[in-house]
Structure 1
Amino acid sequence: MTALRTATTHRPTARPDVATAAHGARWITASVVVVGVVNYGYALLLTRLLDVGSYAVFAAGAGLLLSAVTVARVTIPWVLAQALARAGSDAERSDATRFAIITSTGAGFVAAGIVAGVAIGFAGPATTLALALTTFCCYVTSVPVGRLQGEERMRTLSLLGVAEVVLKTMIGVALVLVLGLSDTGALAAFGVALLPFLLWWPALRRGAGRAWQSASANRDLWRRAFGIARVQGLVALMVAIDVVLVTVLPADRAAAASYQSSVTLSRVPLFVASAVSIAFFPALSRRLVDSSLSASAVRMYVIASLPLAVTVATAPAAVLTTIFPAGYSMMSALIAFTAITGFALGTINLIVTFFQAADDYACARHQVVGLVGYTLSLLAGWQIGGVRGMAIGGAVGGVGALALLVHRLVRSRGTAPLSRMPLLEPLLLAGVLVLLHPYPLAWLIAATVIGLRTVERFLRRTNAHGPAEEPPVELTTHQSGTAMIHASAEHSKVRTSGTEVRPGRLLVDAVWRESPRPAGDAALRRALPLARDNQVEGRLARAYPRQLADVVAEVETANELFRENLGEVTDRLRAAGIPTVLIKRGRENGHACGDFDLVVPDGRWQAACDVLQGWYVARSTYWLERSTKVLLEPRRGPSVHLHTGVSWFGVPVMSTRRLFDRACPDGGAWLAPHPADELRIWLAHGLFQNLSLDLSELVALRDLLLPDLVEDARREAAREGWLTGCARALVVADEAIRELDRGTPIRLPVPLPATASLRVGAEHALHLLRNGRTTVAAREAALRVPLVVAKSRGRFA
């Protein structure tokens, strides 16, 4: 339990926003570095695997893809992330997710058509098709990217980015070398490598067409989408315009190549700013104009990027000529100016994030003025001094554009966001590097030490309590397009006194220990999402009936509809001579359940579906369970999951005949499982499907962990071929219940070890094989590893 308590203490949801965002920024930055290196290696490797003509097609296609998906990657994920960070209910989260799905799919089709129309001019039909499909995949997978960003699961997002680029390289090389697909295979790998993102596709509550129409017509989300696209598009245009100009203007090719290489080295601050922005954006969106968060983001950016910018700017010519070929000799005359531009652009990117997090898209006017000034400075510098003059003009124009946005930031928020910039040490280091500039070897040693020091400071763990965080300022409504904000007074009092109750502690006291402590509205609203995740929001609401009256009403309405639908379904089936067993009972008392689960006897499943025709209006199955479970949806109230037995993903765990033989009446037209069977159902649900036990399951298990029932459950699990897994789950459940009884904070839901799920899968598959059930044994073995990976992904966020 020591390890469990340690993990709980440091889980992201329990951290202050600053610590969580800083932690995420480090992961995203590391991911960006790895992705950049692997991408460069992939392009370099293809120069040897492809002939010149094929590589030219590949390079053109890769550039076209980058241009086509830029809008998707800076709009859809950011809109969804912001909406999820601010959402106060499941309905708002569902609306935002539906909106992201609609826009990504529609825009994906449009972008794929445009890409195909352009690509047909330089590529064959197969390559054009590969580019179109890859473009569509890029747009669709922006939905899981936005979900992970909005849920602040930056570690998962960064690891997925690394996995994508590694997978792309492996698949691309295989398609080129093994299948001989040349540039078509090299480009198709971009799309295939995106498919793992679909494992993180957000789950939606089933809704009618009206829910989708409402999401697509949501004016606020459309306003944010256009606002973010406008703001981010201007940043992207500013970043790319100098590289485009130096390419199209009549410059010496060696000078243009030197400029482009200088820009590549100098844009490191831009990557750092992007990583910090991605990580801090959800918290900034949730807390809007919180100066402590903005100041922490600026501090983190300056710590990492300013020393690197100074290092690049002071690089001696001897070092540059050693790294780059002789044709890039002009870099030493350009690098100082492009480094200033790179730092300015990175800072602009970060400041723009502050504005868009607060829905302040009027900053686009300042961006437009800055972009025009920056472009004119580039052209004026070109006219005066060629490529070197363009570099100087870019530095002047970039600093000018930055000054405009800083001025607007200070006017709207004061100097607080800039108050914690650590300038002393970077300025001293800059002085050292400038002094050592004439001595390449000494400069190189100093630059190495400074680089290590920068990495150490950037990776240093943020104080667990955050840097004097201010009370969050949250979005409550919109009026005439302007965000109305308010600060929670109760939260402020709690912050000041240092006695803020964590959501997990509040939930455990109210639900598990049934001794609710005094809590303000803000604290309860923070605990409510955790209660919903653990399917005990009704229990929490009943502990605070005045403050959570809306949740009490929601759960009571849902329970009434549950009882009505359960009674109607089971009455119909009993009248037709089909008995039923209600499994996974008990949640209806504390959860606004969307469905309930009934098992019918062997061979009666299709007949039961026929009996219920006319009661339900929609019927659906999941492809992995199409022969064992069906979802029947009525006009109103919870749906019914009709099962052939207790199984998961089509693999039976318990004997249906034995379940019915041991079942007993439950006060209605349905039967209840034997208590030992009910105990095993909860444990199997955690082991075979969820890899966790939520608080509602622990509440149910608490009353079932009696010696006689546990012994009976172990005997039955041995008969069914999963005794080891059952025993492991019993240990985890028993330890969690003991900790909860003692009032010790634990992670909720309580995770079951992935190794236990893998082991129980192997144990159960071997049991099925020994009993001649080869097909389902093969199914169990084939599905277990991918299912464990898919179900446990949230635990690495």
Structure 2
Amino acid sequence: MTSVRPSVALDPARPDDGAAVRGARWVTAAWLAVGALNYGYALVLTRLLDVGAFSTFAAGQGLLLCAATVAAVAIPWVLAQAMARATSPEAAREAIRFAMVVAAAGGVVAGGIVAAVAAQFATAGPVAVLGVATFLVFLTRVSAGRLQGSERMRTLSCALTGEAAVKVLVGLLFVAALGLGATGALAAFGVAAASLLIWWPVRAMRGGTGRWISPGTQHDLWRRALQLGTVQGLVAMMATLDLVVITLLPAGGPATASYQAGVMVGRAPLFVASALSVAFFPALSRQRGGTPLAASAVRMYLIVALPLTAVCATAPGAVLHVVFPPGYEAMGRLLMFTAVSGLAVGGINLVSTFFQAVNDQSCVPRQAIGVLVFLGAVLVGWRLGGVQGFALGGSVGAVAALLLLVHLLIRRQGSGAFAEPSLVEPLLVACVLVALRPVPVVWLVAAVATSALAAVRFLRHRAHPPTARASARTAADGPAPGAGDDDAVGLLLDAVWHHAPRPAGDEELHRALAVARRSGTEGLLALAYPGQLAETAAEVRRRDAAFRDTVCRARQRLHDAGIDSVLIKADVPGPNLVGDADVVVPDGRWAAAERALSSWCGGPRDRYWLERRSKVFLRPPSGPEIHLHACVSWFGVPVLPNSALFAHAVPADGRPWPEPRPADRLRIWLAHALFQNLSLDLSELLAIRPLLEDERVTEQARREAAREGWGHAYERALRTAREAVERLDRGERVPLPVRLTVPVSLGVAVEHTPHLLRQGRVGAAAREAALRIPLVVAKRRKKEDA
């Protein structure tokens, strides 16, 4: 049986990482400017509008933000991703035309929904204005998507900043000069959105041949729009749900306005996360999940978001009284909680982007649960503590929702996105600001200095590979490869997993060959490049012929001795360089089989002390080593009974030796992972992949595993293997080997040991119970040392 191989992180870092980081600076600067303009706009409106009108404006703005968030993903993000992946100008034009159709149709539907919701708390004027403004927001997101997809981040930044500036100027004109109140303040959003029509892609409406949008492209883009819109719609609900709910509760005007103003201040990290998502999304869409680029996005978010949260959460009441007019006194008690929830909601936005970039919809159930947890937390908080309890519940619910999503991201893409997040410095800054809070002037100086330092660090951030410390912290994902290794991994996957070898230079190909040796796929790569890897391909053919000859000779010698045999291969599928021949003989014939083969091999016989009564290593004069097994077992713990194995074994694929049936092969692969390696490497996933395509095979294997006393462990291992195969098929990042979790690794013994006891195999049961924990600890330690 095989041993654990070094892990391989399948995630090539792209050369456009630096461009994404530079774009992130531009877009984040623009969003911070937009945020400053929005906050200034809101602050001025707190003085120009009475408390009731401001509450209507805040709730309406929340609805517009929710609609704009969905529009900003369902339209420009789909367009940006399609343009980033487009293989021809016509494909890009089709994507633009599709975005136009979705923008117009989506604007009509979203405008009606927003107006219907607004009718619950506003009069006819604000309701009509919100409906029209929502339509214009949807319509003009095509312009933003075109700029984002072509990665013209500087132009996009100027356009977004200009849109915010127009909104402030027009809104102040409508409210201060014309006296239109909340209606005028909300109407400014629509006027500002219309300014983006300057970049409307009119030329894309002309040109091309045949259909305006091809059916294949249309279906694919509709699917992406629905997926992205669903994910971001749930993010938008997290960002605005409390703003709307608080208006529907009998909290009183001043308390409601204080909370809404506190949310507007505390949600500053959400603007940072949104900006980073916009800037990084095109580059992330060209990569697999969990890349160093994702880690750069997380670090850039924390560089700015943590200091902003610390500043908002510790703001003294004296400073708030200067900034906000009378009627907002409760903000001092609420801002600490709204700042924490703002940091969490921003994190949810960014983490969701990592799923969206690789078209992974597995986050949707977790997001939906997070929204429900958030809603339940604010309502419970309201019941227990009024508005302050509402704010506390919001912070707890948002953090819980973030943790749910982060946990799933680590399971799906590994922990590479969270390499080297520094939390010590932000905690020290927060402690300093808390200590200075009783002295507002000194606190203000410290807050300005903290914000300035964060801005400088953000602007000076560079894309770089993880350091040694980061590599140690992400050992679960395998060693962090250099750029050359990353390209080699991509080349290897294209050749052996996707069966689409691409042109490669000799240097790149030999790096891929080194990676293939570590993942057990050297022979498959050599056969994919028989010209450039001629020597290795020739060696593959020679070793494969020797393998066949050795197995045939061994089977014939056993047959002459009256002993049946089955070849079980827990090694490389197909041609290989280092594969062993694992042979099982019937019950009671193992000693006789050893004697029959020993006279032929003649060389030394080896035994591993934990398997000395069930396995022997024999070395023929030529060819691979023969591992002779008394049964399918690991460390002397029997798993598959010989009776079933031999009853169904038949020659397969024209080979002259009997092999297990598909259901038995699948159980052998998964049992090998559960009872010995506690992981699955790339070669093993290649062998399992075709077996997963037939539900009859997986169901038959499930029934047999249940009878053999490890049915639940089989289900968990099968789920792990299926998820890894599906992610590799989608081109996503999969840290290899795919490791089974500690609960699964320990749980198989908890389930299987009682089965052995019921069968009267007390010695085997004792061995399994005694070895399981040391095995798990040893494998975990080996992983950490890798």
Q: Normalising by the residue count of structure 1, what TM-score does the alignment of the two structures yield?
A: 0.53
* Counterpart Cα distance in 2 of 1:364 and 1:166: 35
2:257 alignment counterpart:
257
2:311 alignment counterpart:
311
Q: What's the CA shift string for 1:710-761, capped at 9, x where partnerless? A: xxxxxxxxxxxxxxxxxxxxxxxxxxxxxxxxxxxxxxxxxxxxxxxxxxxx
Change (3 A) 1:59 1:376: closer
1:204 is paired with a residue of what secondary structure? helix
Are 2:364 and 1:364 aligned? yes
Q: Which residues of 2 match residues 206-605 of structure 1 at below 5 A?
A: 206-207=206-207, 210-214=210-214, 218-325=218-325, 327-462=327-462, 471=486, 490=504
2:104 is paired with a residue of what secondary structure? helix
Change (3 A) 1:30 1:191: same
Which amino acid is the alignment partner of residue 19 of structure 1?
Answer: G
* Counterpart Cα distance in 2 of 1:366 and 1:19: 32
* Counterpart Cα distance in 1 of 2:55 and 2:451: 36
* Counterpart Cα distance in 2 of 1:414 and 1:192: 44
Q: What's the CA shift string for 1:742-792, capped at 9, x where partnerless? A: xxxxxxxxxxxxxxxxxxxxxxxxxxxxxxxxxxxxxxxxxxxxxxxxxxx
Q: What's the CA shift string for 1:527-561, capped at 9, x where partnerless? A: xxxxxxxxxxxxxxxxxxxxxxxxxxxxxxxxxxx
Q: Is the 8 A contact 2:66 2:233 kept in 1?
A: no
Q: Is the 8 A contact 2:79 2:146 kept in 1?
A: yes
Shift of residue 278, structure 1, vs aligned partner: 0.8
* Counterpart Cα distance in 2 of 1:194 and 1:369: 33
* Counterpart Cα distance in 2 of 1:384 and 1:289: 42
Change (3 A) 1:176 1:316: closer
1:32 alignment counterpart:
31
Q: Which residues of 2 match residues 727-746 of structure 1 at below 5 A?
A: none
* Counterpart Cα distance in 2 of 1:200 and 1:71: 20
Q: Is the 8 A contact 2:266 2:309 kept in 1?
A: yes
Are 2:75 and 1:76 aligned? yes
1:576 alignment counterpart:
none
* Counterpart Cα distance in 1 of 2:499 and 2:97: 26
Change (3 A) 1:112 1:431: closer
* Counterpart Cα distance in 2 of 1:396 and 1:493: 53
Change (3 A) 1:54 1:413: closer
1:87 alignment counterpart:
86
Q: Is the 8 A contact 2:136 2:190 kept in 1?
A: yes
Which amino acid is the alignment partner of residue 95 of structure 1?
Answer: E
* Counterpart Cα distance in 2 of 1:392 and 1:49: 29
* Counterpart Cα distance in 2 of 1:315 and 1:460: 27
Which amino acid is the alignment partner of residue 143 of structure 1?
Answer: V
Shift of residue 418, structure 1, vs aligned partner: 0.6
Change (3 A) 1:297 1:372: same
Q: Is the 8 A contact 1:286 1:475 kept in 2?
A: no
1:328 is paired with a residue of what secondary structure? coil
Q: Which runs of 5+ in 2 are unaligned?
A: 1-13, 468-481, 512-531, 533-786
Shift of residue 185, structure 1, vs aligned partner: 7.0
Change (3 A) 1:153 1:423: same
* Counterpart Cα distance in 1 of 2:282 and 2:225: 15
Which amino acid is the alignment partner of residue 145 of structure 1?
Answer: A
2:383 is paired with a residue of what secondary structure? helix
Aligned residues: 479
Shift of residue 361, structure 1, vs aligned partner: 1.0
* Counterpart Cα distance in 2 of 1:183 and 1:211: 45
1:696 alignment counterpart:
none
Which amino acid is the alignment partner of residue 425 of structure 1?
Answer: E
* Counterpart Cα distance in 1 of 2:452 and 2:195: 34
Q: Which residues of 2 match residues 112-127 of structure 1 at below 5 A?
A: 112=111
Shift of residue 451, structure 1, vs aligned partner: 1.5
Q: What's the CA shift string for 1:66-114, capped at 9, x where partnerless? A: 5554432231111111111112222321222221122112223444556
Change (3 A) 1:361 1:443: same
Shift of residue 133, structure 1, vs aligned partner: 5.0
Q: Which runs of 5+ in 1 are unaligned?
A: 1-14, 498-519, 521-797
2:389 is paired with a residue of what secondary structure? helix
Q: Is the 8 A contact 1:251 1:386 kept in 2?
A: yes
Which structure has the larger Rg?
2
* Counterpart Cα distance in 1 of 2:204 and 2:81: 18
1:159 alignment counterpart:
158
Is the deviation greater in 51-60 or in 89-98?
51-60
Q: Is the 8 A contact 2:293 2:463 kept in 1?
A: no
Q: Which residues of 2 match residues 780-795 of structure 1 at below 5 A?
A: none
Q: What's the CA shift string for 1:499-522, capped at 9, x where partnerless? A: xxxxxxxxxxxxxxxxxxxxx9xx
* Counterpart Cα distance in 2 of 1:485 and 1:54: 63
Shift of residue 441, structure 1, vs aligned partner: 3.6
Q: Is the 8 A contact 2:69 2:232 kept in 1?
A: no
Change (3 A) 1:421 1:53: closer
Change (3 A) 1:398 1:420: same
* Counterpart Cα distance in 2 of 1:302 and 1:119: 35
Q: What's the CA shift string for 1:637-659, capped at 9, x where partnerless? A: xxxxxxxxxxxxxxxxxxxxxxx
Which amino acid is the alignment partner of residue 338 of structure 1?
Answer: T
Shift of residue 345, structure 1, vs aligned partner: 1.3
Q: Is the 8 A contact 1:144 1:201 kept in 2?
A: yes
* Counterpart Cα distance in 2 of 1:128 and 1:258: 23
Change (3 A) 1:69 1:416: closer
Q: What's the CA shift string for 1:595-654, capped at 9, x where partnerless? A: xxxxxxxxxxxxxxxxxxxxxxxxxxxxxxxxxxxxxxxxxxxxxxxxxxxxxxxxxxxx
Which amino acid is the alignment partner of residue 319 of structure 2?
Answer: V
Is the deviation greater in 159-168 or in 250-259?
250-259
Q: Is the 8 A contact 1:475 1:485 kept in 2?
A: no
* Counterpart Cα distance in 2 of 1:35 and 1:492: 50
Q: What's the CA shift string for 1:361-405, capped at 9, x where partnerless? A: 111111112222222222222222222222222222222211111
Q: Is the 8 A contact 1:296 1:420 kept in 2?
A: no
Q: Is the 8 A contact 1:305 1:343 kept in 2?
A: yes
Change (3 A) 1:335 1:216: same
2:214 is paired with a residue of what secondary structure? helix
Change (3 A) 1:170 1:71: same
Q: Is the 8 A contact 2:97 2:213 kept in 1?
A: no
Q: Is the 8 A contact 2:491 2:501 kept in 1?
A: no
Is the deviation greater in 379-388 or in 60-69?
60-69
Change (3 A) 1:35 1:493: farther
Q: Is the 8 A contact 1:475 1:484 kept in 2?
A: no
Q: Percent identity?
A: 49
Q: What's the CA shift string for 1:288-324, capped at 9, x where partnerless? A: 3252111000010011111211222233344334444
Q: Is the 8 A contact 1:476 1:486 kept in 2?
A: no
Q: Is the 8 A contact 2:98 2:213 kept in 1?
A: no
* Counterpart Cα distance in 2 of 1:194 and 1:247: 26
* Counterpart Cα distance in 1 of 2:104 and 2:493: 28
* Counterpart Cα distance in 2 of 1:376 and 1:474: 44
* Counterpart Cα distance in 2 of 1:120 and 1:345: 27
Shift of residue 449, structure 1, vs aligned partner: 1.8
2:151 is paired with a residue of what secondary structure? coil
Q: Is the 8 A contact 2:134 2:190 kept in 1?
A: yes
Which amino acid is the alignment partner of residue 376 of structure 1?
Answer: G
Q: What's the CA shift string for 1:139-191, capped at 9, x where partnerless? A: 22111111111111111111011222333444566678999988887666544
Change (3 A) 1:455 1:195: same
* Counterpart Cα distance in 2 of 1:178 and 1:164: 21
1:100 alignment counterpart:
99
Q: Is the 8 A contact 1:111 1:136 kept in 2?
A: yes
* Counterpart Cα distance in 1 of 2:42 and 2:408: 41
1:581 alignment counterpart:
none
Q: Is the 8 A contact 1:86 1:475 kept in 2?
A: no
